[in-house]
Amino acid sequence: MVQERQAQGKGVYWSLRLWSAAMVSFLLLSACFVLSCVVTYRFVMDKPYTRLSELHTYHSSLSCFSEGTWVSEKVWGCCPSHWKSFGSSCYHISTDKNIWNISEQKCIKMGAHLVVINTEAEQSFIIQQLNTSITYFLGLSDPQGNNKWQWIDNTPCSQNVRFWHLDEPNLPEERCASVVHWGTGWGWNDVFCESKYNSICEMKKTYL
């Protein structure tokens, strides 16, 4: 009888230990899950605000526009004030003339780069913002002068998105591209990188 009670006691004891261990494991897993969710949420939510903080180091004010909804939340796209908004990018048209390298450096100082044109719609939008009497640098160059034009982000110039004026580019010494209005309208032209022109900067929008 005593032995049976001792055996039952041991059984209850081990059952309690197993139950306690299971509960502790469950609580630890729950805590880890909650923590991972918090960290992931903070990482996702902090990204746009980190970007906004970076933009505020270059620009005193930003303009944000409602751009529909993603899932069930309204989405806002933000550009620096006085920049033009199109698609997922913001554009700045310079008012001063510089050589190509200096133009790119000025864009970088504003958190941007010389414009990269990816579609006909983007080209059409940009030329609507320009002065027909001014030439503007693009973020397009031919570093080796071998007609291998590439954008500032190192992507090659697509055959499907080329808006060169007739018979351009035509000189291997002219290794930078510009957009300029001639009698036939707007188009790209190869120019000397050391020439001084206006320029167009582009940056990605920040979404909230």
Contact predicate 145/128, CB 8 Å: no
41 pLDDT higher than 60: no
Residue 4, Cβ density class (10 Å: 0-12 exposed, 13-18 middle, ≥19 buried): exposed
Going from N- to C-terminal start, the domains of the chain cover: 1-47, 85-207
Region 84-112: what's the mean pLDDT?
96
Sign of the alpha-carbon torsion through 133, 91, 195, 190: negative
Least confident of 10-14, 54-58, 75-79, 148-152: 10-14
111 pLDDT higher than 90: yes
pLDDT, position 65: 76
pLDDT, position 70: 58
More confident residue, 138 or 17: 138
Dihedral (Cα; 151, 157, 162, 168), 10-degree rounding: 80
Region 75-102: what's the mean pLDDT?
94
Which one, of 63, 181, 115, 177, lies nearest residue 106 by Cα? 115
pLDDT, position 33: 46
Sign of the alpha-carbon torsion through 82, 99, 151, 165: positive
Please give the single-letter amino acid code of residue 205: K
75 pLDDT higher than 70: yes
pLDDT class of 22 with cuts at 50, 70, 90? low
pLDDT per position as a tens digit, 136-183: 999 999 999 999 999 999 888 887 889 999 999 999 999 999 999 999
C-alpha span between 21 and 17 (Å, rounded): 6
Region 194-200: what's the mean pLDDT?
98
Beta-carbon-side half-sphere exposure of residue 109 (alpha carbons within 13 Å): 6
pLDDT class of 38 with cuts at 50, 70, 90? very low
132 pLDDT higher than 70: yes
- Non-local CB neighbours of 192 within 8 Å, separated by 6+ positions: 173, 174, 175, 176
C-alpha span between 16 and 22 (Å, rounded): 10
Q: Give CA separation, 131 vs 68, 86, 134, 158, 178, in Å.
A: 32, 18, 6, 26, 13
Mean pLDDT, the chain, integer: 81
- Please determine, looking at this structure, whether the domain spanning 85-207 carries the CATH number 3.20.10.10: no
